[in-house]
Chain A
Amino acid sequence: MPLHDTNYQHWDGTHLGLWQRRLTIARNGLTACLQIKGMRHIVVVCWIGGLAMTATLFLVGQLLVADSIVVQWVGNLNPQLQNFAHTFTTWLEQHPEVSVRTTQDVLFYYFGTLLLPISIFALGMVLPVLITRDLASNAIIIYASKAVSRGDYLLGKFSTAFGLLVLTWLGPVCTAWFVGNLLAPDWRFFWHSRLALFHTLLFGVSSMAILSVLALGVSALSSKEKATPAFWFMWWIIGGVIAPIAMQTKPWLRHVSFNYNLDQIALKVFRLGDDLQIAKENVPIFGSMLSNIRAETMTALNSPPFSGAMIGLLLMAVLAAIVVNKRAKPE
């Protein structure tokens, strides 16, 4: 028996604003994403990666202190490594603004591109939660009949995908940057690594936005819950297979892979070629290591096909937007 009056009662409270309604859609979507089997494990793996990145940054920071335990430990492991550490320390001491930025740029590039496939995988798993289920269950009609527009609905769903990527990608990376620099021996590390953070945010946010739009597009392709993840993974895998093959025959074809395009944008944003060049010039031991890298690899690092990658991704995003516009509405 209910504890209160079961008659209908009018409500005269104050309505929340539009952004809070959009946030409700995003929050609800994200909750549904995290309820998917295995999704929480993926998020934990990504944050363990963030912890590893923090540890790496801590170790690099300790190299600045000449008699630190880390340098001694490295020396005990291998005298050559101790030489390397000393050279590195000297460089860090002499040009901290360049050395910290370059080191963290390289580390964040590798860490970011390591988490990217995990994030793409996670996104593939949650595709049904985005639009597919709403199409299958007609819930899209309910959204359309409430005080939110179609744009609000899509913005909410976009935020769901974006939020998930923050959890699996940008969150761990940015936390690693913050905690890693907090543990560094010098507060100036924060300032010197600002460009590395900027590059991370620029690449991370733009890639996440594009991936979120692509995910919405694929999610709206079908109302069958198994079909949309299948499309996503097929596109990812086939694109990944085509890209290296197309490099030799029809170079434009490699841009069908969104993963390849994102890699090229990462190279352009982080300017990895420049960073390696700086490291080569300042740390002699690096110079000898990097001299073994093939000329084509260095060319690829220095001048990635950025325009092609951007055009490819923009075309994909436009295509996804068309699919969403056509499909994500009440019939």
Chain B
Amino acid sequence: MVVAGRSSCLTPATLPGTLAEMSGAPVIETQNLSKVFGPQRALDGVSLTVSPGAIGLLGPNGAGKSTFMKCLLQLQPITSGSAKLLGREVGREGREIRKRVGYTPEQDCHIPGMAGCEYVTYCAQLCGLPFQAARQRAHEMLDFVGMGQERYRKADTYSTGMKQRLKLAQAIVHDPEIVFLDEPTNGLDPKGQAQILELVQSLWKKYGITVVLSSHLLHDVDRICEQIIIIARGRVLVHDTLENLKSRKRGAAEVVVATGHETLQAACRQRQWGCELLPNGHMKVEHHSESLNPLLGLLDELKLPPLELIPSPNALEETFVQALEISHAPA
């Protein structure tokens, strides 16, 4: 567990699944990493040790998430401090590092006039794959990301969803050990978002490729990431496992019941538990307990079978908001 900056109030309990227990040599190590653009400090003394896995990089717009990734990839020069990616010094072994790293930028980045498959082949060649292997892998990756015959069309004509898939294909075509994804679901409809997230999730879970997912969409990160890094104002406010973050917020749950909302509210009031009806029809109950047993006991007592029970429903959101409040507080 790492808590940086002024986030000491977020100290969690020591629970299983802490970062120290996660296996594997660190993929990212930074020491006082800083990046300054004129008068603005985009990164302010970031010190992190990140283990392999699915890592969510969270923060509001302008927090420094993209800058952090760009500094690691040497797309931006580091102002001060040091960084290691996959055990190699960033700044000294750029080409060697990037041979093992994939990156999808936030914005469109295709080469005009090139068809999708040509583009992915070219990207593989830039990473050192021979032409035949590059072409074969390009087609495999385009299949993997779910692109059909449109791969033979010029990328300029692609929809946002296709461009996102193309970006993902070029990022993994050379079989990297770690992939940085900058807002990969931007501009996608819910179905497209789900498909992309599923692919991203499989990269770590099935194929062992570390994924660093930068997003301001908590849902995306919550769905696929095991580790969370929250950045705001260029500082790392929280770095912990999602499990730990959720455990901090135990004591609240969302209950879906078919009937008896008023009965449940009254019973909760009697026990001095917070209870409110949410706009989506769910009941949010603050039961102040690490276990769900008291809540389940109450529901059983009231003969209200829960249709759904979501423990710590907004843990990530609350931690995120709390971290932001801390970051915005005057020094």
Contact = CB atoms under 8 A, between A and B. Distances in A.
Interface string B135-162: 0010111011000000000000000000
Interface hub of A2, A9, A137 (most chain B Cβ within 10 A):
A137
Contact of A137 (B70, B109, B128, B202): B109
Given A134-B111, A137-B109, A11 B174 contact: yes
A143 interface: yes
A52 to B, nearest CB: 34
User: What range describes how many residues of A lie at the interface?
Assistant: 35 or more
Contacts of A11: 129, 133, 137, 174-175
Nearest to B146: A6
A164 interface: no
A144 B95 CA distance: 9
Contacts, number: 113
Interface string A7-36: 111111101111011001100100010010
Interface string A33-67: 00100000000000000000000000000000000
Interface string A138-160: 11011111111100100000000
Interface hub of B70, B102, B133, B140 (most chain A Cβ within 10 A):
B140
User: What range describes how many residues of B lie at the interface?
Assistant: 35 or more
A292 to B, nearest CB: 54
Contacts of B126: 21, 24-25, 142-143, 146-148
A279 to B, nearest CB: 50
A32 B113 contact: yes
A92 to B, nearest CB: 50
Contacts of B129: 11, 13, 15-16
A330 interface: yes
Nearest to B69: A145
A133 interface: yes
A4 interface: yes
A143 B170 CA distance: 11
B6 interface: no
Nearest to B155: A137
Contact of A147 (B95, B105, B141): B95
Contacts of A142: 105, 109, 111, 123, 126, 170
A145 B180 CA distance: 10
B125 interface: yes
Interface hub of A9, A17, A141, A330 (most chain B Cβ within 10 A):
A141
B127 A137 contact: no
B280 to A, nearest CB: 36
Contacts of A147: 95-96, 98-99, 126-128, 174
A32 B123 CA distance: 16
Nearest to B102: A145
A145 B207 contact: no
Contacts of A17: 128
Given A11-B129, A15-B99, A147-B99, 20 more contacts: A6-B140, A7-B144, A8-B203, A9-B140, A13-B130, A16-B129, A20-B128, A24-B122, A28-B122, A35-B113, A133-B112, A136-B112, A137-B108, A142-B109, A142-B126, A142-B170, A146-B126, A147-B95, A147-B96, A147-B127
23 contacts: A4-B143, A6-B140, A7-B144, A8-B140, A8-B172, A8-B203, A10-B175, A16-B130, A20-B128, A133-B111, A136-B112, A137-B108, A137-B109, A138-B107, A139-B111, A142-B105, A145-B73, A145-B101, A145-B103, A146-B126, A147-B99, A147-B127, A149-B95
Interface of B: 70, 73-76, 94-96, 98-99, 101-103, 105, 107-113, 122-123, 125-130, 133, 137, 139-141, 143-144, 170, 172, 174-175, 202-203, 206-207
